[in-house]
Structure 1
């Protein structure tokens, strides 16, 4: 993977991490389309640049994250992330196996798009319009919804936003809580990938892959900076779009993208 390819993947990550379109699917498709070899470092890179996207949320909502007088906010996030931590560890190997096959990911992208076409009509009468009104029980339930995204192509953002709306949150509050929940979730995933996980081919830890060569470390830093900047733009745009148009535009996008990608990978097996 060269510098230009790393920048392209980072742009895709920043654009799609907080949108209900599956950043994992888009990075896999981008890598395949540009002929990027799927080695251990590329796998690590695709996960570790989520750190830049995490910082985007923290910067945009810094008043929320650094208001230490509201301890209940941190308790809710801590409780909500537990299901993903447990199930993610249990199914890590199975998830890696699916990541190598783009066909089922494209199918899930289409199915998720169909769901988004109808989601606005399904939850018309929200009862929660502020994060402060989300109970710990509701937060944990949203956390379980988030676990649906362990199937690549589902979208962590889509799963947690739908879970929030099912729990009575309005669209904007559900989207913002999804952003908040992404911080501990992706921080845990990034930390695991960098410090604890041993990669199958190289038998190296993530930090060993990073320090294996100056180029790897350079690409890691560039990727995180690009993902951070692009994610800030994407988050601001997404809130405006869902307030005005709901989730249908993203549903149509997923269906069209999924069909095109399904055709592409079916013809290029």
Structure 2
């Protein structure tokens, strides 16, 4: 296996892990990083989706106590069953809309200019969400969510099908706009990511299996490993961060980064691959 290609896989894994659970769009960053690295062919697109599984293992590790206690309590505790049902309900809209529109979106919207534009729009939405009056919070804890709350967050998650929008940004900021506290929205976003990203990775690998071979195992293994390690560090940091901070810095990051990408694309300073 080409050492340069493995190095690119490591970089892409780090980008995935650091951006998957922040409201700044991992898909958008992977598209931009892949464009800069020349790692943007059909196999690279499968790789980008598959390595999300590494980031999910990090979430499972960080939330293991909550996940384990919920699973064990399913037969006898209504609260545990409600949380499991809510995750299932929140997951379903992405499955349906992904199967219906996923191919069209990948063919027409996975471009740097689209990513940069949605970066900017998403930044302003975060600023708007953070200006909510204090009394707008209805749900402080993820265990207090209703199935209707879960469905609404699941529908909002579907906006993340547009690259640059951010799955975590859609669910966290969308959840906050729907009345969830910052902590509850973040926790539910992480729980919802587990079936969503594992399902997307497995489906992508199965659908594009003809592109892959045994020789690709080292490439994917490196991406998964670095995705896991960087996501583990990022999730632990984010959970501490949100206890005392808002998402406003991420909003400004999105806006500035999006403007830089558009400016470099229009001036020709950087030739972004389409």
**TM-score, length-normalised on structure 2?**
0.89
Structure 2 equivalent of residue 87 of structure 1: 97
Distance 2:211 2:91 in 1: 27
Distance 1:130 1:239 in 2: 14
Contact residue 15 and residue 234 of structure 1 kept, 8 A: yes
Distance 2:20 2:133 in 1: 24
Quote the offset at 1:99 in angstroms. Answer: 4.4
Structure 2 equivalent of residue 166 of structure 1: 177
Deviations 1:112-139 (A, max 9, x none): 1111122111253212111110011100
Q: Please, which moves more after superposition, 115-124 or 144-153?
A: 115-124
Quote the offset at 1:213 in angstroms. Answer: 4.1
With over 3 angstroms needed to count, the CA separation of the structure-2 counterparts of 1:247 and 1:80, relative to structure 1, is same
Deviations 1:94-152 (A, max 9, x none): 21123442112101101111111221112532121111100111001100010011111
Structure 2 equivalent of residue 202 of structure 1: none
Tell me the secondary structure at the aligned position of residue 232 of structure 1: helix
Structure 1 equivalent of residue 64 of structure 2: 62
Structure 1 equivalent of residue 55 of structure 2: 53
CA RMSD of aligned residues (A): 1.5
With over 3 angstroms needed to count, the CA separation of the structure-2 counterparts of 1:123 and 1:154, relative to structure 1, is farther
Distance 1:259 1:46 in 2: 24
Check if 1:13 corresponds to 2:16. yes
- Paired residues for 1:138-157 under 5 Å: 138-157=149-168
5+ residue gaps, structure 1, are: 198-204
Distance 2:146 2:110 in 1: 38
Specify which of 197, 200, 204 is matched with residue 193 of structure 1: 204
Contact residue 98 and residue 152 of structure 1 kept, 8 A: no
Contact residue 109 and residue 162 of structure 2 kept, 8 A: no
Contact residue 12 and residue 26 of structure 1 kept, 8 A: yes
Specify which of 3, 6, 23 is matched with residue 6 of structure 2: 3
Matched length: 257
Structure 2 equivalent of residue 201 of structure 1: none
Quote the offset at 1:184 in angstroms. Answer: 0.8
Distance 1:128 1:22 in 2: 25
Contact residue 119 and residue 247 of structure 1 kept, 8 A: no
Structure 1 equivalent of residue 26 of structure 2: 23
Structure 2 equivalent of residue 254 of structure 1: 254
Contact residue 123 and residue 165 of structure 1 kept, 8 A: no
Contact residue 27 and residue 46 of structure 1 kept, 8 A: yes
Distance 2:117 2:178 in 1: 27
Contact residue 57 and residue 232 of structure 1 kept, 8 A: yes
Tell me the secondary structure at the aligned position of residue 130 of structure 2: helix
Quote the offset at 1:153 in angstroms. Answer: 0.6
Give runs of ≥4 in structure 1 deviating > 6 Å. Answer: none
Contact residue 11 and residue 227 of structure 1 kept, 8 A: yes
Contact residue 50 and residue 227 of structure 1 kept, 8 A: yes
Quote the offset at 1:167 in angstroms. Answer: 2.5
Distance 2:232 2:226 in 1: 10
